């Protein structure tokens, strides 16, 4: 276990370098670990996140928010037998990236940065939301393998196919989220966190649609490993007038849609033959389902799947046309287009993975979240339940605390979220919190601690949670995450034991900031925590980064290897073993 940083003064903590630009490392470089790796560890860790916060190194062009840096893909090819790592990186060559560098300024609106300087320009955005001058195609959130291609995804409707060997940008993914919107659309958000259901051999995704004249709706897609002939369904029980999905159009020519500057490639025209072939392949393997909203559409960054269900948390952060106009005109955040109302419940929408039918929509407590952790099915008194764990916050103030000018001054007053558990009874359609008021406080402490702390299984602040992927949708025990107490964003890695409700492991070194921990299973074991943890750590004092490997069971350090460049704030990654398909 790393040394515990004790007695450090706040002024010694400075992770501003975590939010500074880096450079491409195009030529693959061989590095050696300082200690011996497990010989079974062989494969590639891919990571995605912001890598450049200014344009052409001009500080006047800096973006405003941590989520706004240009997408930066990293590849760490690890060979345990040789004890080596081959390292390379690349920026995604999106239209937004290339045009911004060409013109010397940002050309498309990002999560929290608007390139329009004039009120007129921002007002125009309200009436031309699909114009390529306004919509970003920079896919800097996750990187996942779907149907044998590596995809970089974000919350907009355009992802990118990335070459696994070279990290070159192959082509845009034009079919996400697989359905045609109407021309009155204001905003579409799709999930960057697709989910794989091994029981049905399919990838699950969703998108949220907001329009001016057709209301709001939710699209859910199942992308199978085998062809499915584009089966679609409208499953809303309250709204019979929902627009149909584009796969109802049997006469639609996909080549015309791609070549003709259609909805999903209006921001780029570089769809090559490999890209066209893959987009058609995904289209042929997709089932699509559409659901309506009785109130405003909710912001949803991620969701959960069990063996048989998709669970979406519709938090009370709902799209508002008025808030949208104010956000655009005031250079606000994407989430400023949504109105927070904690007097409303969070609705857990539960959808069958067998047929796309909505099983239930269960009200629960109000909370904010970016990341679901896991969910699984259970039986109690012969009644079906779903248990779902979420990294929860009391409200969405965290988003405002991720402005770069604050983070670079180490201002992070609220800290990260807490693990909360919700029990969804499918028969009674009721939600309970088994650990409500689990953390005991005195009367004079009640106002000092958030509700999510009081209802947490373990009183530690964290985010970017990961688990052993073999336990997704099943009863599980361990969570791995990045700790983040107030003013110390990403200061340690933790291992949470849900069974004992304790912190079972802690890795921390003075003035270091680790990234999301990715678990890799020992192939010779079925024990949940028999494996290793992969993370990339930023070292504040040297402005260097290293890849760190921990024993997932003991949380002791196994080895590390320093990289030739520093890696900024990174969001998500996945490891794919050399000898297997899906990780």
Q: How far is CA 45 from the centre of its chain?
A: 16
For the chain, what is the largest distance between any 2 Cα atoms, rounded to a whole number of angstroms? 69
Judged by DSSP in three states, 485 sits in coil
List Cβ neighbours of 361 (8 Å cut-off, separation of 6 or more). 314, 347, 348, 349, 350, 429
CA–CA dist 5, 373 (Å, integer): 28
Is 372 annotated in some ligand binding site? no
Place of tokens 């939600």: 431
The terminus-to-terminus CA distance of the chain in angstroms comes to: 27
- Calculate Rg over the CA atoms of the chain: 23
Place of tokens 């949708």: 473
CA–CA dist 70, 94 (Å, integer): 9
The DSSP line for 518-558 is EEEE-TT---TT-EEEEEEEEETTTTEEEEEEEETTT--EE
Judged by DSSP in three states, 149 sits in strand
Is 301 annotated in some ligand binding site? yes
Compute how many other C-beta atoms are within 10 angstroms of the C-beta atom of residue 478.
20
Judged by DSSP in three states, 44 sits in strand
Q: Exposed (0-12), middle (13-18) or buried (19+): which is 76, by Cβ within 10 Å?
A: buried
CA–CA dist 161, 147 (Å, integer): 11
Per DSSP, 314 falls in state E
What are the angstrom distances between the C-alpha of 123 and each of 322, 513, 559? 13, 40, 53
Angle formed by the axes of helices 119-127 and 321-329, nearest 10°:
150
Contact 336, 326 (CB under 8 A): yes
CA–CA dist 414, 434 (Å, integer): 25
Q: What are the binding residues?
A: 193, 301, 371, 572
User: Which residues belong to the annotated binding site for Fe cation?
Assistant: 193, 301, 371, 572
């Amino acid at each position: 276990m790393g040394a515990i940083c004790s007695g450090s003064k706040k002024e010694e903590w400075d992770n501003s370098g975590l939010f500074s630009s880096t450079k491409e490392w195009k030529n693959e470089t061989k590095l050696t670990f300082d200690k011996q790796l497990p010989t079974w560890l062989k494969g590639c860790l891919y990571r995605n996140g912001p890598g450049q916060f200014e344009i052409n190194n001009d500080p006047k062009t800096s973006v405003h928010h941590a989520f706004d840096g240009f997408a930066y893909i990293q590849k760490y090819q690890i060979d345990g037998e040789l004890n080596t790592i081959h390292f390379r990186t690349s920026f995604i060559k999106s239209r937004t990236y290339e045009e911004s560098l060409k013109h010397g300024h940002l050309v498309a609106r990002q999560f929290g940065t608007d390139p329009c300087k004039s009120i007129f320009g921002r007002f125009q955005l309200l009436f031309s939301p699909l114009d390529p001058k306004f919509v970003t195609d920079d896919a800097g959130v996750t990187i996942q393998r779907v149907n044998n291609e590596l995809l970089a995804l974000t919350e907009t409707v355009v992802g990118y196919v990335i070459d696994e060997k070279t990290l070159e940008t192959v082509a845009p993914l034009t079919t996400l989220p697989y359905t045609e919107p109407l021309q009155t659309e204001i905003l579409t958000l799709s999930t960057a966190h697709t989910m794989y259901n091994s029981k049905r051999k399919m990838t699950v995704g969703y998108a949220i649609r907001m329009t001016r004249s057709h209301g709001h709706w939710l699209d859910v897609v199942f992308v199978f490993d085998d062809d499915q002939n584009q089966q679609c369904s409208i499953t809303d029980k309250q709204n019979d007038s929902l627009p149909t999905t584009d796969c109802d159009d049997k006469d639609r020519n996909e080549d015309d849609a791609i070549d003709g500057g259609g909805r999903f490639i209006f921001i780029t025209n570089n769809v090559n033959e490999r890209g066209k072939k893959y987009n058609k392949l995904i289209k042929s393997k997709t089932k699509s389902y559409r659901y309506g909203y009785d109130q405003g559409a909710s912001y949803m960054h991620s969701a959960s799947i069990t063996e048989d269900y998709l669970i979406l948390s519709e938090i009370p952060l709902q799209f508002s046309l008025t808030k949208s106009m104010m956000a655009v005109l005031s250079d606000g955040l994407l989430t400023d287009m949504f109105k927070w109302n904690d007097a409303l419940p969070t609705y857990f929408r539960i959808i069958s993975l067998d047929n796309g039918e909505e099983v239930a929509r269960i009200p629960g407590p109000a909370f904010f979240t970016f990341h679901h952790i896991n969910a699984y099915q259970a039986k109690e008194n012969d009644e079906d339940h779903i248990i779902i764990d979420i990294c929860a916050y009391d409200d969405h103030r965290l988003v405002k605390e991720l402005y770069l000018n604050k983070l670079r001054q180490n201002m992070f007053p609220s800290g990260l979220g807490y693990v909360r558990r919700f029990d969804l009874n499918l028969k009674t359609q009721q939600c309970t919190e088994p650990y409500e008021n689990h953390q005991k406080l005195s009367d004079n402490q009640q106002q000092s601690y958030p509700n999510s702390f009081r209802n947490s299984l373990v009183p530690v602040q964290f985010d970017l949670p990961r688990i052993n992927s073999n336990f997704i949708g099943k009863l599980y025990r361990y969570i791995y995450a990045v700790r983040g107490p107030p003013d110390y964003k990403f200061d340690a890695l933790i291992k949470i034991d849900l069974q004992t409700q304790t912190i079972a492991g802690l890795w921390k070194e003075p003035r270091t900031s680790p990234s999301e921990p990715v678990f890799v299973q020992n192939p010779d074991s079925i024990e949940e925590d028999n494996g290793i943890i992969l993370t990339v750590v930023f070292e504040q004092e040297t402005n260097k980064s290293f890849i760190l490997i921990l024993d997932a069971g003991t949380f002791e350090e196994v080895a590390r290897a320093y990289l030739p460049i520093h890696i900024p704030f990174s969001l998500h990654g996945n490891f794919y073993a050399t000898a297997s398909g899906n990780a």
